Amino acid sequence: MRRRSILTLATVSALAALGVCVALPRGSAQEDDETPAASGWRQRAASEEILCNEQTPLPYLIRDSWSTRVYMDRDEQRDRRGVHQKAIRFRTENYGFFTGFGLPEWNAHTPAENSVNLRLFDRPIRLNQRIIAAARCAEQEIARTCTDTYEPRRLSGLRDRNTYHNGEVSNHVYGIAIDLDPQQNTCCNCVKEWRLHPLCQATPASIFDRMVMPECWVQGFEKYGFYWLGHDRLMDTMHFEFLGDPEHVLISDGPPPHMSQ
C-alpha cells in the first residue's frame, strides 16, 4: 500500500504555529495528569481553521464487523476471522507493526515510532501522528458546537500492551484510540469490576446515561471518522477510535473514496 507523509512540512508548520501540536519530552505523555484543564483550549480550537473531510468509519474496521460469538456457525466465524485479518493488515500498513498481529513486512515501523506526544483538550496524550489532524478537527468541532462546561481530566492514547483477549487487538496499541476520563465514562461490559460502578447498576434509558461526557462530544468525534465504542456491546463510553481513511483526513487530500460508494 502506498504510504505517504501524514502532513506536508508546510501543514505541520502551520499546525504548530497555531499551537495545534505541542510536543512533550518523548516518553513522558503524563496521561495521569488530572489537574483541571483550562477552558482556554476551546477559544484556541474554535479559532483554528483545520479543514478535514467529514467521513464515516470504514465498515470492516468496526469491531462488530469481525468479532465472533459462540452462537455463530463455523462459516460465519471463518468469514469474520477473514475480515479481522483484513482489518489487522490495514492497521499495520497504515499505523505500524505490533508484535503478534500481522507481519513485519507490512510496515518497517512500530506504532510507537509513528506516535508523538501532544495536548488535546489541554490534556497530555500520545497518538499516532497519522490521526492527529482528525483529532484536531474533532476538538475544533466540539469547541465550536458544544455549549457544555465538560472538561476532560484525563486522556489515554497509545499503549505498549494489548489489553484485548481472544485474538483481538486494541486500537490503543496503534495509537489511534482515545479514552476520555476512564473513571467517569464507563465500560459496563468490559470487565466484571465495571459492573459495580454506579452508572452500570440500572438499565439506562440511553447509553449516554452511562457516562458524564456530553452526547455532543460523541457527535464531534464521529463527524471526522472516529467510531465511538459506546455503540458496541462492550458499551465502552470513554473510547473513540479513528477508523476512517488516514489517506484522506484533510480536505486537501481529496475526498475519502468510501464516502462516494
Flag whether pLDDT at 176 surpasses 90. yes
Lowest-pLDDT choice from 8-22, 209-223, 232-246: 8-22
> Count of CB atoms within 10 A of residue 134's CB?
26
> Which three cell numbers mark 86?
483484513
Confidence of residue 35 (pLDDT cuts 50, 70, 90): low
Q: How confident is the model over 45-70, as pLDDT tens digits?
A: 999 999 999 999 999 999 989 888 88
Is residue 149's pLDDT more than 60?
A: yes
Ramachandran region of residue 27, left (φ > 0), alpha (ψ -120 to 50) or beta? left
- Least confident stretch, 18-32, 98-112, 170-184, 195-209: 18-32
Burial class from Cβ neighbours inside 10 Å (0-12, 13-18, 19+) for residue 86 reads middle
Mean pLDDT score of the chain, rounded to an integer?
86
Pairing mode, strands 123-128 and 115-120: antiparallel
Cell of 50: 483545520
What integer pLDDT is reported at residue 253 of this predicted model?
97
Structure confidence at residue 190 (pLDDT): 83
DSSP letters for 13-64: HHHHHTT-----STT---TT--SPPPTHHHHHHHH----B--BPPPGGGSHH
- At residue 214, the pLDDT reads 97
Cβ count within 10 A of residue 78 = 11
Give me the residue spans of the domains in the chain: 10-19+36-260
Does an H or E element contain 135, and which?
helix 132-145
Which pLDDT does position 192 carry in this prediction? 79
pTM for the full predicted model:
0.84
Amino acid letter, 94: N
DSSP 66-79: H---TTS-HHHHHH
pLDDT in tens, 99-138: 999 999 999 999 999 999 999 999 999 999 999 999 999 9
Q: What is the mean pLDDT of residues 239-244?
A: 98
Other C-beta atoms closer than 10 Å to the C-beta of 232 total 18
Dist. CA 152–CA 38, nearest whole Å: 10
Q: Rounded to whole angstroms, what are the CA distances from 113 to 36, 89, 107?
A: 30, 18, 11
